[in-house]
């Protein structure tokens, strides 16, 4: 069966699907901890975000929005990161929902250990393949990937549908 709707982008879609499936497989495998100090892929991505924006007081909802990780996963992952002494929680002003996460010294060290030991080498060939892109082309590519992520998250939802309000029984 020919998949005409993808047109000239078929091989690009195939590559994105392959990456997504490889990433999901890695995420599933990484969530089976070998030791309590192992980080899941989500925990690593949250720690990376916190280290990158530690001077901007980003709240947990922004971490979820910017990374695409569900808020419930952010909350669960944060508990593990705190238990490991890698992250500390702060409240921004008097708003109980404005929780800012900041890395500890151990958190920064753990991030660098993983980033330089595993993640940077995994991205090296990918970055080399993009070296011929000028700034504008790279920006277009980034925007296309971000747009795909946003639209892909909506697959299966009715267009314009409002979230249902469900009563919580105590």
**How many Å apart are CA 168 and CA 170, to the nearest integer?**
6
- What is the fold of 39-138? Arc Repressor Mutant, subunit A (1.10.10)
Q: What are the residues whose beta carbons fall under 8 Å from the beta carbon of 77, sequence distance 6 or more? A: 40, 42, 43, 46, 69
What's the pTM? 0.80
What average pLDDT does the structure give for the chain? Answer: 86
Q: How many Å apart are CA 98 and CA 91, to the nearest integer?
A: 6
Per-residue pLDDT of 17-36, as tens digits, reads 888 888 877 655 555 555 55
pLDDT score recorded for residue 35: 59
Segments making up each domain of the chain, as ranges: 1-30, 39-138
Tokens encoding 47: 């720690």
Measured CA to CA, the distance from residue 145 to residue 150 in angstroms comes to 9
pLDDT of residue 56: 94
Cα–Cα nearest to 47, from 8, 83, 20, 87: 87
Contact 31, 40 (CB under 8 A): yes
Q: What is the mean pLDDT of each run of 10 residues along the chain (170 residues)?
A: 82 88 68 66 94 94 92 94 96 85 96 92 93 95 90 77 64
Among all chains, which residue has been given the structure tokens 């497989």?
25
Nearby residues of 57 by Cβ (< 8 Å), 6 or more positions away:
92, 100
**In the prediction, which pLDDT does 97 show?**
80
**What pLDDT was estimated at residue 158?**
72
With b for 16 or more beta-carbon neighbours within 10 A and e for fewer, the 23-45 pattern comes to: eeeeeeebeeeeeeeebbbbbbb
């Amino acid at each position: 069966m020919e998949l005409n709707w993808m047109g000239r982008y078929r091989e690009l879609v195939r590559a994105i699907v392959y990456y997504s499936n490889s990433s999901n497989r890695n995420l599933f495998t990484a969530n089976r901890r070998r030791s309590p100090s192992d980080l899941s892929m989500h925990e690593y991505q949250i720690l990376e975000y916190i280290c990158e924006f530690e001077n901007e007081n980003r709240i947990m909802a922004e971490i979820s929005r910017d990374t695409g990780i569900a808020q419930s996963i952010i909350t669960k992952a944060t508990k593990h990161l705190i238990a490991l002494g890698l992250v500390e929680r702060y409240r921004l002003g008097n708003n109980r929902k404005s929780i800012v996460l900041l890395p500890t010294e151990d958190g920064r060290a753990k991030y660098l250990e993983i980033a330089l030991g595993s993640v940077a080498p995994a991205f090296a060939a990918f970055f080399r393949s993009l070296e011929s892109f000028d700034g504008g082309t790279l920006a277009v590519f980034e925007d296309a990937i971000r747009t795909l992520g946003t639209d892909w998250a909506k697959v299966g939802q009715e267009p314009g549908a409002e979230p249902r309000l469900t009563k919580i029984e105590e």
